[in-house]
Structure 1
């Protein structure tokens, strides 16, 4: 017969309170059932652990030896179980997330604020990275999940679609193309373009769209951060091409913003996870808040850009 945790707890409780009657009450079992558990433990060990005395029970020499090691083990186990229950109930824990800079500056602040409001003890650690780096970080286990544009992930990664947005043109002050409701690629190909660096997913998407339309373009200026490009557009240095959900669009409300067409340049942003690992309760909670932000009335990540829609200038996305 195997030694069981139930039997060890029964022994520890009787020993702690010196009474079968009180121990049975605390364990919410009958006294005969408690006696059976103690007897089974003794049979498994081949040793007598407790002697009944008129006032209750006291340990034998073997019982005292077991007690010296058992009590700290049970305390550590109880501590571990309590910690796991806190994780399951989302009372504590941390999630590590790698995300595109555009997502980190738009969707995540609202999502993390909502998470803090509902679960104050949960922590989120965000790493900004371009799409390829996000996949590498998730694959290597350096983060728990990622948010990036769709790539062919391979067998160890899985994707869940979050939203779709489109690439927009942010025009410098007084630019003639602001008269158009949508700007064709052929017109943009003749302009000074302010683009993200070549290793970004947005830049690859833009370059591929121009190439498919028969245009090879060179950037007048490149930058790592979209905010830098918007500031350059404000100074009249060229046209910025950034996603519709980028928070940086709000940096310069005086600048005209127009969709690109026809057809528009679109991208899908997805949640990237290890297919062989389950998300922790903390990670699941964060994903829930991200989806809440995206589904909120002010969010426009999944909608077409409409310059006359007030929500378009204040929405969130990637």
Structure 2
């Protein structure tokens, strides 16, 4: 059945107005055109819906039964149109992001706060996970955007913007490494290290840097989360290597951090989305703001 919404709206308008003349004016139609709409609806349903005399217009019994159904259809349709327009105007919506934990607690949270000053009805769903999980979530379209460490070479992933993040060594304030004029891979290789999980982007950078220097790290412990690594440093288990953007490196007053003086300890950070997919309007707008705060155009 090809039910025409113009015909439904015509029927509801005539019944509510109690007059073909008033309904035609409301719908900006001529009375003959409005009459045709009603007739076609009745022909489609094979039932008379309106009784019309020279003085009165009233729905038939079937018309009275259909009226609330048709009114609900029109209300639901109008609500969808309004909601779609609101989404397009970024008045509200949901932005879903998978991100490295180091950005979730720093640049990302600041970007969200700034965005919501102009878009208070936009909400965010944040999944702070390790690098491989970010890629999985973007690839499966469970999120609109991803912030991931390391270079991305995946035909299913589009890199929107790219920046870099220097790695720092985190150590107790009285540790001997604090007096060195510079932090090198040779210096790091002489002390026990609390390294991040092998599935993290930070660990990939650290492993490649040590390998490139022909050195092996002394691994005391491994941790998935940065605060865990910081806690192990505080307990004296070793030094750790974390991104300079991570707020965890400033969370403990008795700990210090310094950038590592070796370009190999630099992590690429990419803002990504699923290749060939159109993001929701709110996510598109937030991406523009975010790229200006934490990353530069890829190139």
TM-score (structure 1 length as normaliser): 0.77
> SS of the counterpart of 2:142?
coil
Is 1:90 the counterpart of 2:90 in the alignment? yes
Q: 1:55 to 1:145 in 2, by over 3 A?
A: farther
Aligned to 1:239: 239
**Distance in 2 of aligned mates of 1:219 and 1:66:** 74
Deviation at 1:206, TM superposition (A): 0.6
Is 1:6 the counterpart of 2:6 in the alignment? yes
CA deviation digits over 1:193-248, x for unaligned, max 9?
A: 22212221101111011101211223223222222333443455433211111111
Q: Which moved more, 1:26-35 or 1:3-12?
A: 26-35
> SS of the counterpart of 2:222?
strand
**Distance in 1 of aligned mates of 2:66 and 2:232:** 74
**Distance in 2 of aligned mates of 1:236 and 1:133:** 30
Q: 1:56 to 1:167 in 2, by over 3 A?
A: farther
Is 1:108 the counterpart of 2:103 in the alignment? no
1:34-49 equivalences under 5 Å are 34-35=34-35, 37-38=37-38, 41=41, 49=49
Whether the 8 Å contact between 2:188 and 2:217 is mirrored in structure 1 is: no
What runs of 5+ residues in structure 1 fail to find an aligned partner?
295-300, 303-318
Aligned to 1:297: none
**Distance in 1 of aligned mates of 2:205 and 2:27:** 64
Aligned to 1:137: 137
Aligned to 2:193: 193
Whether the 8 Å contact between 1:51 and 1:58 is mirrored in structure 2 is: yes
Aligned to 1:75: 75
**Distance in 2 of aligned mates of 1:102 and 1:221:** 20
> SS of the counterpart of 2:105?
helix
Aligned to 1:309: none
> SS of the counterpart of 2:77?
helix
Write 1 or 2 for the structure with the bigger share of strand.
2
Q: 1:244 to 1:82 in 2, by over 3 A?
A: same
> What is the Cα-based RMSD across aligned positions, in Å?
3.2
Whether the 8 Å contact between 2:98 and 2:127 is mirrored in structure 1 is: yes
**Distance in 1 of aligned mates of 2:68 and 2:128:** 50
**Distance in 2 of aligned mates of 1:262 and 1:75:** 64
Deviation at 1:129, TM superposition (A): 1.3
Whether the 8 Å contact between 1:173 and 1:236 is mirrored in structure 2 is: no
What runs of 5+ residues in structure 2 fail to find an aligned partner?
none
1:1-318 equivalences under 5 Å are 3-31=3-31, 33-35=33-35, 37-38=37-38, 41=41, 49-55=49-55, 57-59=57-59, 63-64=63-64, 67=67, 69-152=69-152, 154-180=154-180, 182-252=182-252, 255-291=255-291, 293-294=293-294
**Distance in 2 of aligned mates of 1:153 and 1:62:** 63
